Amino acid sequence: MHEARRVNYQPVVDRFPVPIPLDPIAAGIFAIAFVLVAIATARRPSYGLAALLFAQPFAWYHYVFGTTITFPKVILIGVIAGLSGTPNIARILREKHLAAIAWPLAAIAVAMGLSVLQAHDRAAVLREVLKAVEYLVLAVTAYVLYRMDGNDDLLKNTFAASAIIVAISALAEELLGAPSGLWMHEHPVPRIAGFLEGPNQLAGYLEIVTATLGAWNIRKRTLSTDVALLLAGCSLILTFSRGGIAGTAAVAIVLVLIAGRAALRALLPLGIGVICGGIGAEVWAFLTQSDNVFRFTSTQSDYAGGVGNRAELWRAALHFFRASPITGIGAGNYELALNRAGLYGVRTHANSWYLQSLAEGGIVLFAAVVTFLASALRTLWSGVRSNPWTLAAFAATAALALHQIVDYLIFYPKVGGPWILAIAIGVAALAPRKQ
């Protein structure tokens, strides 16, 4: 075995999140954001939708009264305030396309609420129910905004700009240090995350970016979408997220199957980015003298901040499901109850949306999740060949439905928010435009 070459800087930097209370300065900034978004939305609804699309990855968490205040939440409230008093909203809310996603999302919130029956920590249930309600409100709001003012160029370019910033923030961690990594021959290899909570979350977000901007590139390539896709491909590889890479491959397959050669041309910048990221990964393989940096073998490697492995976490989820198969042990309670399944000192989620649903909400929540996915995919399928937003939402939903077999991504609003927005806009694009 060759001695690994030493790296002269710290590629992985442990970060310990510290709750930041809401202070007067932060409150003032949030208040200004609220007012500006409300005024902009009242002037033109697409401005509010663009603000929602842009802000999702940039939370700026502050805590008050046991909950978090973030830019996406403040902007959502500001958008709703800007829409207040707008005529014709009631008519839009009654549209059948909205019902196809709104009712299943509401069912998820209700199923989570029912899980309180067996919950040890009811505050955790309330937190997850409120998150589900937030996703429902976000979907309904985005649908209404797009139906009122579908400014496609503004929305596409705003989303591309947000994705570019996220990708740059992630790639910068190759120099500044990433929050987690792989250990190869006792040397760390960074797994970049940028503004997202971790590398798997960034990979999930990039699936949405690839689906959205790839779909729009099929119609017309632009500099902003090309740059965003290139940076996304490079960042994706350097997350070393196998689920994310497979999910992005699924996005590409869906786009190619539906759009053919046009999709191959549209995804060319992504491919170039993947090659660049692969070169970066090869550099780490050379520095550590380990090809297992690509994680294609069964050789074990440690993760920074390791919190158990999937085999253990999946067994624990099935243990909880067997203990309470109808309504589960309570939404948000899985991570708090792992010691009851024999996992001591571990606090994390189940690394699977479906197993997490079975554990925390039983058959009721699992059925609601499957119904939501089936309804969204069925509704979006009817328009995949007619509108880029609809094609994007279908590809992203198909990929994330697969990816979340091995990861629990909707738990994180920085992934769940963009995904829900993509679905809402994609469904809204199916309805006839106002003349």
CB-based contacts of 415: which residues, under 8 Å, 6+ apart?
Answer: 196, 201, 204, 205, 208, 409
Residue from 343, 430, 420 nearest 141 by CA: 420
CB atoms within 10 A of CB 336: 15
Confidence (pLDDT) at 25: 96
DSSP annotation of 294 reads: G
Tokens, residue 425: 């806009």
State the number of CA atoms in the 13 A half-sphere of 183 facing the CB.
Answer: 9
Query: Cα dist. 220→17, 72, 211, 245, 366 in Å?
Result: 41, 29, 14, 25, 39
Per DSSP (E only), the strands in 336-400 are: none
Q: Return d(Cα 220, Cα 153) in angstroms, integer.
A: 11
Confidence (pLDDT) at 305: 43
Residues 280-317, buried b or exposed e (16+ Cβ, 10 A)? bbeebbebbebebbbeeeeeeeebbeebbeeebbbebb
Confidence (pLDDT) at 177: 87
Tokens, residue 260: 């053919």
Confidence (pLDDT) at 299: 46
CB atoms within 10 A of CB 433: 9
| 231-253 residue pLDDT tens | 999 999 999 999 999 999 999 99
Confidence (pLDDT) at 186: 73
Tokens, residue 278: 């692969």
Q: Return d(Cα 222, Cα 214) in angstroms, integer.
A: 11
CB-based contacts of 424: which residues, under 8 Å, 6+ apart?
Answer: 101, 138, 139, 140, 141, 142, 143, 146
Range list of H helices, 220-309: 223-239, 242-259, 261-266, 268-288
Instruction: Determine the distance from the C-alpha atom of residue 58 to the mean position of all C-alpha atoms in its chain, rounded to a whole number.
Output: 12
Give the length of the chain. Answer: 435
Query: Cα dist. 57→12, 162, 275, 417, 419 in Å?
Result: 22, 8, 25, 9, 11
Confidence (pLDDT) at 1: 45
Q: Return d(Cα 319, Cα 144) in angstroms, integer.
A: 42
Q: What is the mean pLDDT of each run of 10 residues along the chain (435 residues)?
A: 57 77 95 98 97 96 90 98 89 94 98 95 95 98 96 97 98 91 81 94 98 97 97 97 96 97 97 96 84 58 55 94 96 93 87 97 98 98 95 98 96 97 97 67
Confidence (pLDDT) at 306: 42
Residue carrying the six token digits 């442990």: 14
| 136-148 residue pLDDT tens | 999 999 999 999 9
Residue type present at position 418: P
Q: Are 274 and 229 in contact (CB under 8 A)?
A: no
In the chain, the N- to C-terminal Cα span, in Å, equals 70
